[in-house]
Structure 1
Amino acid sequence: MTLPRTNEHERFERGLRALSEIDGHAGEKVVAQLADIAPDFARYLIEFPFGDIYSRPGLDLRSREIATIAALAALGNAAPQLKVHIEAGLNVGLSRDEIVEILIQMAVYAGFPAALNGLFAAKEVFAARGLSGQERAA
């Protein structure tokens, strides 16, 4: 099997575009926080998940964020990353109610503590964005 060759600069640029579209300032903030401790890891974070995986055909960004929110909630130990991806879900068109349903669904497969932690993380994100009650994200 021959693997396609990809210019590292292309991966990085593609990753930056995807990161900006999906996570906006929250993603940029994470990358910036790594600059003084692990700049190579910041580059990997842009190139692999965003330049390679998020940029693949087959799933739209909305579907990818549903999967990501569910996975991070199920892990139960990734609250900061979950909050970033709840923001990302809102950025790519998920509504507040859809995110709540994703997190409620996690009670079945990851347990009530994981679902509760996810819901409390979502509550913080929604409050910061001014989404209260049953309002939907724009």
Structure 2
Amino acid sequence: MKAWDRYREVLLSITELAARLYIAKVFFMAGLSKSNDWAMTIEMFTDEYRVPLLSPTVAAYLGTGGELLFSSLLALGLIRPLAALGLFALNIVAVISYYHVIHEMPVALQDHLEWGLLLALLVSLPTTWLSADKGLQIWRRRSQTA
């Protein structure tokens, strides 16, 4: 492997890890705040969020659970494409269901756009060295050759 290729691989691994941890923290903290005050969460999903096709209670459980589960998987780099895709979907639903409020807050809308772009990149990037997925790939290869 050429020195330049090795440098790019290391840089990609570090950058991908930083993006995963940043996005995971955003969604994990959102899920954690919802789970800490469940009465307030149900009230918010009833009065403020307009999640299409779901009752407020179902939307609250799915949204909170998705934020906590997918962000944890993303932080570990475990089934990263699925975790990033799950958070990407939650991000889209958040924008749609809360658009009546955030369309007047350009910074909040910009945040969701940036998170969506980072999540789209995380869905499409190859597995890097600083993830549980890479460790599992190596373990599978070794167990198949043994």
Give yes or no for TM over 0.5. Answer: no
State which structure, 1 or 2, has the greater radius of gyration over its C-alpha atoms: 2
Instruction: Decide which structure has greater helix share.
Output: 2
Greater relative contact order structure (CA < 8 Å, 6+ sep): 2
TM-score by length of 1: 0.29
